[in-house]
Amino acid sequence: MTKDKRKNRSVPGSRLGRFSRMAKLAGGVAGGMLAEGSRQLAAGKRPRARDMLLTPANARRVTEELSKMRGAAMKFGQILSMDSGDLLPRELTDILARLRDDAHPMPTTQLQQVLEKNYGKDWQELFYGFDFQPIAAASIGQVHRALSAEGKDIVLKIQYPGVANSINSDIDNIATLLRISGLLPDSIDIQPLLDDAKRQLKDEANYLIESRYLQAFTELLGQDKRFVLPQLLADLTTEDVLVMSYVSGEPIEFTAQLPQDERDRVMTVLIELMFRELLELHMAQTDPNFANYRYRPDSGQIVLLDFGATRHLPPELANNYRQLIKAAIAGKQQPLISAAEKLGYLNKEGSEDYKQLILEMLQMALEPIIVDKPYDFAATELPARMAELAESIQQFRQFWQSPPPDTLYIHRKLGGMFLLANRLGARVNLQRIIKQFL
């Protein structure tokens, strides 16, 4: 997460206040649709609802309002974008994908209220040199630097007020907007995703849970010199404030300017960690935000940050992914179909044409693993070919389904790693990495 220079805005904490903002958003989108419809009619065109909704003005309206609301409204928009385009129509995904962890910081008065609630009116006696300007402002909280009483350089991740209590209503309101937009096919049952998102976000809004994940990853990776993790200050951590040591490092994108060998090494390490989380640890940090990784030029170490989106994964999920990968490498179609059905990528009730289309897309997506040689992420045209093939899926909307939440979160992480490898121009032998876990 980069330093936030956006204008401070108070976080709407009450349920009524947040509902009012969502209603305002819906009204603004509706007004934008009417204006666009009138413009198209004046130009002699017959307006379609989708074209009227998906205007640049409406896209800006949605992303800006969600970034002001922060909390579950903004976070769920990020989750839904998934960078995949296979759960939602591409147009809606494109709108939601514009949401990044780039929220408006809360005003100083609101910040002080949170700190007083957690540490009392004399909270400044616990922290020296507290910087009221956040170094990052994201969907659930913002990050400030300070010194501990012992003089240690630390950071405080401070949750926006009202976030935890607004999760259910925020997600229900966004789900309603998705339905009334007409962009989400009636055949897709997203209720399991909604229920899981509420549970996941409630966990993320409890920093004591995140602190336990940080400790777990520290124990698992603490001896691996390739990584650096913040040290938890458990005595100062509460449900609303996570306190850790400050770990310096450049944004992970910094490595894009380094020699090819180093870019390849960094990306190989991150992809190996991803597969280890999924196939061995059964515990994955599922947020692919680039800001969760930093790079230390002096040592070549990778800094791992933000474990709020960590999920425990059922062992059968790893087994199904193993089956999928083994079948893809061996070129065996029937085991590939079986694994795809178990993972929720393939609807058993779909027509044969639909199944073949999904199978073709899966085989295409698995191309980087099928070849036993370095895959050039900079030169690949895979995303463009996937997008072109996805256009054909539009005609099978009646068979669309929402995969299980665990599968969606893993898909999100896989997509994020692909995008990062592409950004760094890395060349990685994925098959060689993954075979050690099969």
- Give the list of residues 6+ apart from residue 246 with CB closer than 8 angstroms, or none: 145, 153, 154, 155, 230
Q: Is residue 195 part of a domain?
A: no
Query: Considering just the CA atoms, what is the radius of gyration of the chain in Å?
Result: 22
Q: Band of the pLDDT at 82, cuts 50, 70, 90?
A: very low
Q: Which of 4, 287, 306, 406 is catalytic?
A: 287
Residues 283 and 310 sit within 8 Å (Cβ to Cβ): yes
Same domain flag for 242 and 253: no
Q: What is the pLDDT of residues 378-398, one digit of tens each?
A: 998 887 787 777 777 666 665
Both tokens of 326, joined, read 């083994």
Length of the chain: 438
Q: Are residues 412 and 348 in the same domain?
A: yes
Taking 80 as the threshold, does the pLDDT of residue 63 lie above it? no
Give the residue numbers spanning the domain of 80. 15-100+166-184
222 and 350 in a single domain? The answer is: no
Average the pLDDT over 310-330 and give the result. 93
Pair 346, 327: CB distance under 8 Å? no
Task: Please report the DSSP string for 23-72 in residue order.
Answer: HHHHHHHHHHHHHHHHHHHHTT----HHHHHS-HHHHHHHHHHHHHH-HH
**Residue 197 in domain:** no
Q: What is the pLDDT of residue 145?
A: 97
pTM strictly above 0.85: no
Cα 142 to Cα 3: distance, rounded to the nearest angstrom: 10
Alpha carbons 39 and 178: distance in angstroms, whole number: 24
The answer on 258 and 240 residing in a single domain is no
Residue type, 230: P
- Whether residue 99 contacts residue 63, with contact meaning beta carbons closer than 8 Å, is answered with yes
In this structure, are 285 and 324 located in the same domain? yes
Check if 406 is active-site: no
Dihedral of CA 107/112/113/114: which sign?
positive
pLDDT at 56 over 80: no
Residues 355 and 260 in one domain: yes
Nearest-CA neighbor of 253 among 274, 267, 268?
267
